[in-house]
A and B are shown apart, each in its own frame.
Chain A
Amino acid sequence: NAGVMQNPRHLVRRRGQEARLRCSPMKGHSHVYWYRQLPEEGLKFMVYLQKENIIDESGMPKERFSAEFPKEGPSILRIQQVVRGDSAAYFCASSPGQYSGANVLTFGAGSRLTVL
C-alpha cells in the first residue's frame, strides 16, 4: 500500500520555463494538499483540492501558479515562467475524505525545484 507518491523528486529549470509537479495521494484518500517549504523554514500552505474541485487556494500566488486534481490521474501543481524565488521543496499531502473532525495528513517525500 504505497503512501503519497510525488514526482519528480528533483527538478531543475531555467528561469522562464514551466515546472510540473505530480502527486498521487495515498490509496483511499480523496483530499490533496500542496505546501511549499523554503530552506530552514516551515511549511506554507498553498492549495487544498478534492477530485475535480479546488476547495481552498488562499495560499496560492495570484500569478503563474495553478493546481488541479482531475477525476483520473494525479494532482498536478504547475508553475509557469519560473523565477529563482520559486526554488523550494514542494510537498503534497493527502487525507481521507471522511474524518471525525481531525484531519491527519500523510505527506509525500517532496519535489525539490531548483531554478537556475
Chain B
Amino acid sequence: SQQGEEDPQALSIQEGENATMNCSYKTSINNLQWYRQNSGRGLVHLILIRSNEREKHSGRLRVTLDTSKKSSSLLITASRAADTASYFCATPQTSGSRLTFGEGTQLTVNP
C-alpha cells in the first residue's frame, strides 16, 4: 500500500449529515494536507495541519492528526450537495518537496 491511503473509497450521505474520511500514511511527516477535486476539475487545497497540531478547523471542516497512529481524519459537518467531490489527503516526501496523494474518497451528498 502507498503513502496516503483514504478510507472509505466511497461515501454517500444525505444533505445535513456529517461526513468523515480517514487517511493513513507510512513515513514521518511535518504536515498533512487535504484537497478536494470536483468532477473533471483540478484539485483545490482545503486545509493543512502540521505535525505538532492535533486538530484544526476551517469553516465546516475539521481535521485531526494522530502522528502516533500515522492517521488523519477530515470531517465535513452539515454537508451540502455542493460538497459532492473526491477528497484526497497528501503528504510531503520531505520538507518542501513534492506531495504524494492517496487514492481519494468519493463523497456523494444527496439533496
Q: Which residues does A use to contact B, with CB under 8 Å?
A: 4, 33, 35, 41-43, 45, 48, 56, 91, 93, 99, 101-110
Q: Contacts of A43 on B, CB cut-off 8 Å? A: 43, 88, 101
Question: How long is the Cα–Cα vector from A34 to B100 in the complex, in angstroms?
Answer: 12
Q: Contacts of A91 on B, CB cut-off 8 Å? A: 42-43
Q: Which residues does B use to contact A, with CB under 8 Å?
A: 30-31, 33, 35, 41-45, 48, 50, 88, 90, 92, 95-104
Residue contact B95 to A107, C-beta cutoff 8 Å: no
Question: Residue of B at shortest CB range from A100?
Answer: B96
Task: Select one of A48, A106, A107 contacting B98, CB under 8 A.
Answer: A48
Q: Contacts of A105 on B, CB cut-off 8 Å? A: 43, 45, 90, 99
28 A-B residue pairs with Cβ-Cβ distance under 8 Å, sorted by A, are: A4-B42, A33-B98, A33-B99, A35-B101, A41-B103, A42-B88, A42-B101, A42-B104, A43-B43, A45-B98, A45-B101, A48-B97, A56-B97, A91-B43, A93-B43, A101-B95, A101-B96, A102-B30, A102-B48, A102-B96, A103-B92, A103-B96, A103-B97, A103-B99, A105-B99, A107-B35, A107-B43, A110-B42
Question: How long is the Cα–Cα vector from A42 to B4 in the complex, in angstroms?
Answer: 10
B93 → A minimal CB distance (Å): 8
Q: Contacts of B99 on A, CB cut-off 8 Å? A: 33, 45, 103, 105
Per CB-CB distance, the 3 closest pairs between chain A and chain B, nearest first, are A107-B42, A42-B103, A43-B101
Q: Contacts of B41 on A, CB cut-off 8 Å? A: 109-110
A26 → B minimal CB distance (Å): 12
Task: Select one of B50, B88, B98, B101 contacting A102, CB under 8 A.
Answer: B50
